[in-house]
Amino acid sequence: MSVDTFPYRDAVLTRLEDLHRADRLGQPLLFTGPEGTGKEATALEFSRRLNCVQPGTCAPGARCESCVKTFSFQHPDIRWIGPAPAAASEDDVARLLAAKHENPFHRSPWSATSFVAIGDPEHPGPLSVRSLICFLRRRAFQSPWKVAVVADSQRMKTAAANALLKTLEEPPAQSLIIMLSTAPEGMLPTILSRCLKLPFEPWPAAELADLLVQRGDASADEALAAARAADGNARRALDLLQPAARLVAAWAVNLFTGLHRGDRAAAALAADDLHRGAVPPEQLPADVVAKAMEAKEPADRRHRAIQLCEMLNILYSDTIARRERGADWLPHLAAARGPVDKAAAMRSTTSLLEDLARIDSARRDIDRNLNIGLVMALLGEDLIDHAQADRT
C-alpha cells in the first residue's frame, strides 16, 4: 500500500520541530540507532513538514501538492541518496524509490553490499555524493527548504565523505542535511564532529504492533507477535509478516531443535537448501508448492540466509533469557517455548554467548557475499559442537 504519512518517532520529531521553531536548523543532523527504528521515516516526515504549503489543513486524504511529491520521492527540493552500485541506472533508482513509496521501511537491495559513492565528475549518478552537492547548491525550486537525506551514511567511502565535508561545514542557506547511520563508529570523526546527533531506540512492541495494524499489514495478534519477534525493528517486523519469512521462522525453530539434538545431517541439509534458495518440503503448508517459495536470485537467497541467522539469534538470545529470568521469561517466538526450555536446561550462558557471536559472524559473512552453503555448514557444525560440549 502506498503511504499517506511516514511512520515517524514522536519524541525525535518533537525535538526537530522545537529546533525549527528556535531557528536552530543550521547544523547537519545525524540520526543514529539500530536497524528499523524509524530513522529514515522520521527524516522524511520532518522534510515533508518543513516544506508543506498548507500546514493547517494538510492531512491524510487531503494532502497538498508538496506533500504528495514528498511521499512519492518526486519533490524537487528533497533528495534521498544511499548505497548503490556504480552501474545503477536512473531506472534502477526509480524502481527503488517506487518501492519506498509503497513501503516506507523498504530497504535498498544494495544497502549491504554497496557504498555511498562520490560519483564521476562528469556523470556522477543519481545516488552519488557529487549529485547531492550539486542539488544543495541550486536554489530551492518550489519550497522554503532544500533537504538532503543520506541513508546508511556509515557506508560512505572516504573520498565521498571528504567531498561532502565542505558542504557539511558550510551548508547553503535554508538547507538541511540529515545523515542516517546504524554504525556511526564507522564514519569519519570530522563528519561526526559537525553533526547534531539524535539517537533512536527500538520501537516498543505495543507501539510497533499498533503501527502494523494501522498500515493494514496484520491483525492485532499477528502484529504483536511480529513486533515481539522483531525486537523493535519495524523493517524486520514487516518482513516477518510475509509468508516466506513465516516459513523461515518455523524452519529456524526446527533447526534449533536439531542442533541441540546433535543432528549434523539436518544442519548440512539446511546449509544446502539455503545455498540453493530452497525451503525444506516439511516446512511447507500442504497447499503451497515448493517451487513457488524458491529464492531464485542471489540477493534473495542471501536475504533468506540472513533471515534464518536472525531467527537463530532470537532463539539463542531467548535461551539465555530463559536461563537468567526463569519464570519471568516470555519467548519472542511462541512456537519456540518448548525447544528453548529444553535447550536452557542443558546449556551454559557462557557457551550460548559464544554461539550468538558465531551466528552474528556468519550473518556478516553472508552479507559480504561469502558462499552461503559453506558459511552455514560451518556454523551448524560449530553450534552442534558447543551444545554437545555443554552436555558433557
The full set of domain ranges for the chain reads 10-201, 242-391
pLDDT for res 123:
87
Whole-number average pLDDT of the chain: 91
* Range 242-391: architecture per CATH: Up-down Bundle (1.20)
The tens digit of pLDDT for each residue in 136-163 reads: 999 999 999 999 999 999 999 999 999 9
The Cβ of residue 89 has, within 10 Å, a number of other Cβ atoms equal to 12
The tens digit of pLDDT for each residue in 38-70 reads: 999 999 999 999 999 998 899 888 899 999 999
Distances in Å between the alpha carbon of 184 and those of 21, 138, 152, 167, 177? 28, 29, 9, 19, 16
169-183 burial string, b = 16+ CB within 10 Å, else e?
eebeebbbbbbbbbe
pLDDT at 1 over 60: no
- Sequence-ordered strand ranges (E) for the chain: 29-32, 78-81, 146-150, 175-181, 196-199
Is residue 381 within 8 Å of residue 390, measured between CB atoms? no
pLDDT for res 288:
61
The tens digit of pLDDT for each residue in 171-216 reads: 999 999 999 999 999 999 999 999 999 999 999 999 999 999 988 7
CATH superfamily of domain region 10-201: P-loop containing nucleotide triphosphate hydrolases (3.40.50.300)
pLDDT at 366 over 60: yes
d(CA 16, CA 167) in angstroms, rounded, equals 21
65 CB contacts (<8 Å, ≥6 apart)?
53
User: What is the DSSP secondary-structure string of 189-223?
Assistant: HHHHTTSEEEE--PPPHHHHHHHHHHTTSS-HHHH
